Amino acid sequence: MSTAPTPPSFDEALNAILAQAAGRTTSIDAVPLTQALGCALGGAVRSGVALPPWDNAGMDGYAVQREDVTAASRAMPCTLTVIGESAAGADATMLPTVRSGTALRIMTGAPVPPGADAVIRIEDTDRGLAQVSVFDPRDALGRGNIRPRGEDVAAGSELFARGTTIGAAHLGVLASIGAHTVSVHRAPRVAIVSGGDELVMLDRFAEVEAGRRIVSSTSYALPALLRSAGAEVHTSPLVPDTLEALTAALAAALDQGCDLLITTGGVSVGAHDYTREALAALGGTQTFWRARIRPGGPIGTGTVRGVPWIGLPGNPVSTMVTGSLFAWPLVRALGGHAQVKPLRLPVRMLDTADTAAPLTHFLRVVLQNGADGVPEARLAGAQGSNLLRTMALANALLVVPPEIARTESGMLLTAILLPDVPLMTS
């Protein structure tokens, strides 16, 4: 398998990995609206109706002709005859016409009657039922507390573009235009193959207690991360450290059908690192197998049997860091999402940290609000690639470029938000 002569930088590696989604986005299916949350739209959505469907009141009060009330004051209120009421849900075609000298009681959201061009809020009147006195005309100015038809959505307009990720508010808007079903990209099917003779699942925890094995924490953490990206994840049983076993496991995962194959471990230069050989045996090609980053330098990517492959490193933190930086965006791209990369933002580092090697380092940090509005970053704890707890405590990765060997308190850097972690601050 070919290798790049020089390991790529972080951005070069990310772009190479995302390029594998070109022409490979998942198929588009029509699903009930209630099942569309988190999916990417398969096409642009246009509205056949206007929202709101009629001019409606923005306040409880009285619908009036603004010329009647512009000169009103507390000393000389304007008195109008009340000719009816418009409540939320009223039939706009049955409302009487407001003419000069008259007013109509109206509730928030109710249709504005013909003839009215302003709504005076009830607090600026004497709340009369047969007649009403208006003593403050401020609400007759500007838009006059009237929400015009089509202000939110014009009939025939594009609501959302293809690739839009459907959130809770999107569901509300789509329901408002009568979208019983929506066309979305199918969830990408991701197959994960992991191995290591030292690893066991939780059903063999007695061997961990006896000091003979360790739990494969990645087998629990990585699928959860990828599901948060919208993937349908299948995890193969842990594979023994032999070339034959790994080749067979990869072949089985491909035979079952997947949109993305992910391996963990086995991409470094150890005596039992067989991933590249196993992929070669299956006809795979490799774009690169190492990047100029830490943690996660031993990361590879390529294709096998026409399926994109990412080889993540085996150390738990390295797996989760590279899973967040590379696998999560690729899953999003395969799933048709327009926005695939986690958010980057400027932050102020408050701790010192040494980064000796000339690589791009990703430090696990906790972001909090700064007094001047700039987010502040503190180390989540020790940064060893086997220390998964600090990954759980972090909500972002601080990007330390290769030319910086030591971060100092007050230094302005960039952080990448961890995509599956809510950004909560005190």
The terminus-to-terminus CA distance of the chain in angstroms comes to 50
Contact 57, 105 (CB under 8 A): no
pLDDT, tens digit, for every residue of 224-265? 999 999 999 999 999 998 999 999 999 999 999 999 999 998
pLDDT attached to residue 257: 96
pLDDT attached to residue 1: 44
pLDDT attached to residue 268: 58
Residues of the chain above pLDDT 90, percent: 85
Greatest Cα pair distance in the chain: 95
pLDDT, tens digit, for every residue of 38-89? 999 999 999 999 999 999 999 999 999 999 999 999 999 999 999 999 999 8
266 pLDDT above the threshold of 90: no
pLDDT, tens digit, for every residue of 275-324? 989 999 999 999 999 999 999 999 999 999 999 999 999 899 999 999 99
The identity of residue 97, as a single letter, is T
pLDDT, tens digit, for every residue of 202-221? 999 998 899 999 999 999 99
Instruction: Please name the residues in contact with 370: beta carbons below 8 A apart, sequence gap of 6 or more.
Output: 348, 376
pLDDT, tens digit, for every residue of 142-196? 889 999 999 999 999 999 999 999 999 999 999 999 999 999 999 999 999 998 8
Q: For residues 320 and 336, what is the distance between their CA atoms, to the nearest angstrom? A: 23
pLDDT attached to residue 319: 95
200 pLDDT above the threshold of 90: no
Backbone phi and psi for residue 364, each to the nearest 5 degrees, phi listed first: -75, 120
Backbone phi and psi for residue 224, each to the nearest 5 degrees, phi listed first: -65, -40
SS (H, E, C) the chain: CCCCCCCCCHHHHHHHHHHHHCCCCCCEEEEEHHHCCCCEECCCEECCCCECCCCEECCCEEEECHHHHCCCCCCCCEEEEEEEEECCCCCHHHCCCCCCCEEEEECCCCECCCCCCEEEEHHHECCCCCEEEECCCHHHCCCCCEECCCCCECCCCEEECCCCECCHHHHHHHHHCCCCEEEEECCCEEEEEEECCCEECHHHHHHHHCCCCEECCHHHHHHHHHHHCCCEEEECCCECCCHHHHHHHHHHHHHCCCCEEEEECCCCCCCCCCHHHHHHHCCCEEEECCCCEECCCCCEEEEECCEEEEEECCCHHHHHHHHHHHHHHHHHHHCCCCCCCCCEEEEEECCCEECCCCCEEEEEEEEECCCCCCCEEEECCCCCCCCHHHHHHCCEEEEECCCCCEECCCCEEEEEECCCCCCCCC
Contact 351, 407 (CB under 8 A): yes
Contact 310, 298 (CB under 8 A): no
pLDDT attached to residue 424: 58
What domains are defined for the chain? Answer: 10-27+186-334 (3.40.980.10), 28-51+152-185 (3.90.105.10), 56-147 (2.170.190.11), 344-417 (2.40.340.10)
Q: Which among 90, 94, 140 is positioned nearest to 116, based on CA atoms? A: 140
The identity of residue 206, as a single letter, is A
pLDDT attached to residue 137: 87
2 pLDDT above the threshold of 90: no
The pLDDT confidence band at residue 3, using thresholds 50, 70 and 90, is: very low
The pLDDT confidence band at residue 425, using thresholds 50, 70 and 90, is: low
Q: What is the mean pLDDT of the chain?
A: 93
pLDDT attached to residue 400: 97
pLDDT attached to residue 4: 45
Q: Which among 127, 120, 75 is positioned nearest to 98, based on CA atoms? A: 120
The identity of residue 224, as a single letter, is A
CA 357 to chain centre: 33
Contact 222, 420 (CB under 8 A): no
The pLDDT confidence band at residue 139, using thresholds 50, 70 and 90, is: confident
Q: What is the model's pTM?
A: 0.89
The pLDDT confidence band at residue 140, using thresholds 50, 70 and 90, is: confident
